[in-house]
Structure 1
Amino acid sequence: MAKQRLTQKFVDRESLSKECHKKEFYDTDCIGLFLEVRSGRKSYYLRYRDERGKNRRKVLGRADVLQLTDARNMARRYLRDIQLGQNPFEEKAALKDVPTFNAFVHGAFMPHIKGYKRSWRSDESLLRNHILPAVGHLHLDEIKRHHLVSLFAKHREDHKPGSTNRVMILCRYILNCAINWETPGIEANPSKGIALLPENNKRERYLSQDESKRLFTALEHSDNPSLKYIVALLLLTGARKREVLDARWEDFDLQRRIWTIEFNKLGRPRYIPIADGVARVLEQVSRHEGCPWVFANPKTGKPFVSIYYSWNTARVEAGLPEVRMHDLRHSFASFLINSGRSLYEVQKILGHTQVKTTQRYAHLSQESLIAAANTAGASVPFSGVPTPPALPPAPIAG
């Protein structure tokens, strides 16, 4: 360790001999500053003790870029900060540890939700198609409210409020996970305070028997041979789309007539009774040796990620372009209610925790309502109702 009063001339002139691979010259004018000379490179370093008394050395910069006076000023400023209890080098190191949103999603978030969330593929699709292209390149400490507001506004241009709200909720959840897991670079959620959009998802759309027949006629011509069985199970069980697509053969106990769904929307198991129609559908589905899935994509051997295009083709062909796949679940509830089953029974089959949720799906056909009204009418001791007199004509103005 050679001590030397460094000058700019000395820095520019100093070089290595063939026998030497490195030299260090400690400046006598600025304690801690030293010049490291290597083959083809010279650099300024600062040597100091951290708050635990350990010797540390940090590079300040290359000597062909920094002037000696610049290096001395930097060294004195850093030493002053360290004396005041601030460590600028630790702050820089912490910045390097801050992941991008994309890195956090793929390195931490997705592995986490794949372990418990059946609908993780839907989240993955939202991330891939909408969220990551907008903010994936940003580090967590760079994401500000205006980035998210811009993302949501752009998504809203060609999507319904409910779809945009799902993007907003997913972003908020991911950022909350980063905070809860003490990920470097984020302490407050930038999405906090961004209100969800008002939406009206409580529309009623149920298939009539005639519409069901038209739909299954169209399904017979589908390019996806599994689609008719998938739709049949949706209509016969009231299960959610992802529950059917992820179904495994081992989940169906045909002796006890129970379909076990290990993780439902709420993250806990539920049980669906296997009706005769469900058993007949399962008998017709082809099994493939070594494949645990009831409906495996023949290209991947795994559950379908999406069946939208084949479903859309079938519903348009059936003259039902507005019918959503989730409406099949509504229709199942409607069929049960119209056949006289109680809301409690329907609630249990659909897996709702509150009967209020089931009431949204409960729908009585006009025929059922007329029949119910006739029941009351049968108790009225009148054979008929006299015809009311005609109203006089309205007077002519003016």
Structure 2
Amino acid sequence: MANTHQEGRLMAWVRQLADGTYKGAYRDAHGKRKTVPGVYRHKKAAERAAEAKEQEARHTREKDNPLTWREWSKIWIPQRDIAPGTAETDKQRIDSHVMPRWGDVKLTDITRADVKEWVTELRGMPDDDNNPERAASTVNRIAGLLSTSLEQALDSEYITVNPARGIRLKTGEETHDRYLTKAEVRRICEHLSPRWQNITNLLAYTGLRWGEAVGLSERRVSRTRGILLVAEVWDQKTEQMKKYPKGKKRRPVPVPDWVLKSLPTTDPLLPSPRGARPGNRNFQRALDDAAKVAKIERFRVHDLRHTYASWLIQAGVPIEEVRRLMGHVSIQTTQRYAHLAETPKASVLAALS
């Protein structure tokens, strides 16, 4: 006798009996299989009866198991399958922001209005770098943790709706990708130590992500061929090397000869001025100081990657090739730079001079 419903997220299903009638079945609030009393001549009628029992069981579960978010987090967090670095970052955000607000609140008492108010409050708090407001993207990541946890609680049938679903701040107007000219990169380097210069030039002239660059070792560099192989990533949170992220292939990246010659043969390939593996924040401070002295608009470490893409696009490199060099999984990510191909020729020449 074939089931007409698969036993997945829904508990209800029906089966046809030998005499052609239908029997409804479901799982109760404790997960036990139960059958609906009686038989039905029509499959739809059996489905409706089973679904009604299913809803009744869900409501019973909510009433009998009014978990607080803290109690639920002890179930939800161990089930997550995420990278160690992500887990560490998420733990900090949960401990600092999610747990203080929602830890003692029952899952069934969390309302959409309260979540919206909390998200607004998060935006107005100083961030870890003492900026007067926390970035919208950071707020969205924090709110996303609450939403993800409640989505799993919904799937586990502790609640019937996720009140945090879709609540996020707009970030479009805040995004400000900075594209430096080669002249600006040179001016920045004039005010950096030699080792910070090496990192700046490598990031700007290869487009590597920070973890990719810091994770480089001499064995991944072919000085005769003028390329480096991106195969590992340095996880700054756990201070460990990890395999290249899922969904991304190892990729060879060409390096200008003069940049390659400036790189040491150490392991790691890019040590900080103190000889250790460099930290993103220390490097950002060095860039900020150099930009101030050089009277250049402040830019982020990641903007050196944007800069690399802008140089390629403006020089006429096909966008699919740019995607490959940048290590983007989707061409849609690379399309953000497509408008730069429309830059007037004079500006292109100035950027490449």
User: What TM-score range do you get, normalising by the shorter chain?
Assistant: 0.5 to 0.7
Q: Aligned ranges for residues 1-398 of structure 1 at < 5 Å?
A: 94=65, 99-100=70-71, 103=74, 107-109=78-80, 112-114=81-83, 122-124=89-91, 126-138=93-105, 140-157=107-124, 158-180=133-155, 182=156, 185-186=158-159, 188-194=161-167, 196-197=169-170, 199-200=172-173, 203-220=176-193, 227-245=196-214, 247-249=215-217, 252-254=220-222, 257-261=228-232, 262-264=243-245, 267-275=247-255, 276=257, 279-280=260-261, 283-284=263-264, 286-287=266-267, 304=279, 306-307=281-282, 308-362=284-338, 363=340, 368-369=345-346
1:350 CA displacement: 1.3
Post-superposition CA distance 1:158-186 (Å, at most 9, x none): 23434433333343234334555x3x845
The change in CA–CA distance for 1:92 and 1:176 in structure 2 (over 3 A counts) is closer
Matched AA of 2:253 = P
Contact 1:156 1:164 in 2 (8 A): yes
Contact 1:297 1:304 in 2 (8 A): no
1:355 CA displacement: 3.9
Contact 1:161 1:198 in 2 (8 A): yes
Question: C-alpha separation between the residues in 2 aligned to 1:228 and 1:120?
Answer: 32
The change in CA–CA distance for 1:278 and 1:333 in structure 2 (over 3 A counts) is same
Matched AA of 2:244 = F
Question: C-alpha separation between the residues in 2 aligned to 1:168 and 1:236?
Answer: 36
1:329 CA displacement: 1.3
Question: C-alpha separation between the residues in 2 aligned to 1:96 and 1:170?
Answer: 17
1:215 CA displacement: 1.6
Mark the runs of 5 or more structure 2 residues left unpaired by the alignment: 1-31, 33-56, 125-132, 233-242
1:198 CA displacement: 5.5
Contact 2:119 2:143 in 1 (8 A): yes
1:124 CA displacement: 4.7
Instruction: Give the share of equivalent positions with the same residue, in percent.
Output: 24
The change in CA–CA distance for 1:123 and 1:268 in structure 2 (over 3 A counts) is farther
Post-superposition CA distance 1:305-330 (Å, at most 9, x none): 74444444444344335312222111
Contact 2:62 2:108 in 1 (8 A): no
Moved over 6 A (4+): 90-93, 296-299
Q: Give the SS at the match of 1:218.
A: coil
1:189 CA displacement: 2.0
Relative CO higher for 1 or 2, CA cutoff 8 Å, sep ≥ 6? 2
- Equivalent in the alignment of 1:395: none
The change in CA–CA distance for 1:338 and 1:156 in structure 2 (over 3 A counts) is same
1:207 CA displacement: 0.5
1:196 CA displacement: 4.4
1:235 CA displacement: 1.1
Post-superposition CA distance 1:349-376 (Å, at most 9, x none): 112344453242243596734789xxxx
Matched AA of 1:357 = T
Mark the runs of 5 or more structure 1 residues left unpaired by the alignment: 1-51, 53-85, 373-398
Matched AA of 1:219 = L
With the length of structure 1 as denominator, give the TM-score of the two structures: 0.52
- Equivalent in the alignment of 2:8: none
The structure with the larger Rg is: 1
Matched AA of 1:155 = L
1:343 CA displacement: 1.9
